[in-house]
Chains A and B, each alone.
Chain A
């Protein structure tokens, strides 16, 4: 897994690539929670390079969504690959996340 963080004035952009699984989900969690504690309540998570996610990774997505929702912020996901969309559909995540086709669409207000 590779996590890239880019902080703009209003939004933080996070790109996650590779596999998020039981062995590394805590690294993604720490990175995301750090972005939130840096004061960002608008986060765009680019998943176009995300090839694989297990329930450990889904747990992190949900934790972040709960925190951002509680802070009345925006947590937007973009670029989900079809295999990831399938996992999101099964988990009921498609309806509790804001999902955009790409980063440009996610950046529109």
Chain B
């Protein structure tokens, strides 16, 4: 972890057990960058939703792949960029669920991307050089 520039990168494989490593990495990063627990949990949730989608639906070849997660902290925001070489998928185009429905009418699932959009201050997608790039921005005080 580069302590001088407040930027770092985590590389994970396309396996669900890597989510545990992401959580522990974020805890360490939160301590190092003095982020409060609530913010660390929000970032963890957003990463879990994004990365689990990539792992579960992004690859059809059964091969191992590396997903890169870049973190950068400036004075007033945290920027996370996720880069993967899975199938092109733009999560920002996914329709929001109707969260006003009754329990009987609520479909199970479909909350992951919605939570990501609501918890972050910016979610932007690009397809570049054969890779998905998802940029997540969160303002900090």
On chain B, which size bracket covers the interface? Answer: 20 to 34
**Interface residue? B135 (CB, 8 A):** no
A100 contacts B by Cβ under 8 Å: no
Within 8 Å by CB of A65, from B44, B103, B119, lies: B103
Q: Which of A22, A52, A62, A83 contacts B16 (CB 8 A)?
A: A22
CA distance A19 to B27 in the complex (A): 13
Decide: A92 and B99 in contact? CB cutoff 8 A.
yes
The DSSP consensus for interface residues of chain A is: helix
Given contacts A22-B52, A51-B41, contact A69 B109 (CB under 8 A): no
Distance to closest chain B CB from A69 (angstroms): 5
Chain B residues within 8 Å of A, Cβ to Cβ: 16-17, 19-20, 23, 37-38, 41-42, 44-45, 48-49, 52, 99-104, 106, 108-109, 111-112, 114-115, 118-119
A19 to B17, CA, bound (A): 14
Residues of B close to A87: CB separation below 8 A: 45, 115
**Contacts between chains A and B (CB distance < 8 A), count:** 68
Question: How far, in Å, is B78 (CB) from chain A's closest CB?
Answer: 17
Say if the beta carbon of A34 comes within 8 Å of chain B: no
Partner of B112, one of A23, A55, A63: A55
Q: Complex: how many Å from CA A21 to CA B21?
A: 13
**A–B Cβ pairs within 8 angstroms, 20 of them:** A21-B23, A22-B52, A23-B16, A52-B41, A52-B44, A54-B45, A54-B49, A54-B115, A55-B115, A59-B108, A62-B106, A63-B108, A66-B103, A83-B38, A90-B119, A91-B114, A92-B99, A92-B101, A92-B106, A96-B103
Q: What 1/0 flags go to A66-108 for Cβ under 8 Å of B?
A: 1001100000000000110011001110011000000000000
Taking beta carbons and an 8 Å cutoff, which residues of A are in contact with B? 19, 21-23, 51-52, 54-56, 58-59, 62-63, 65-66, 69-70, 82-83, 86-87, 90-92, 95-96
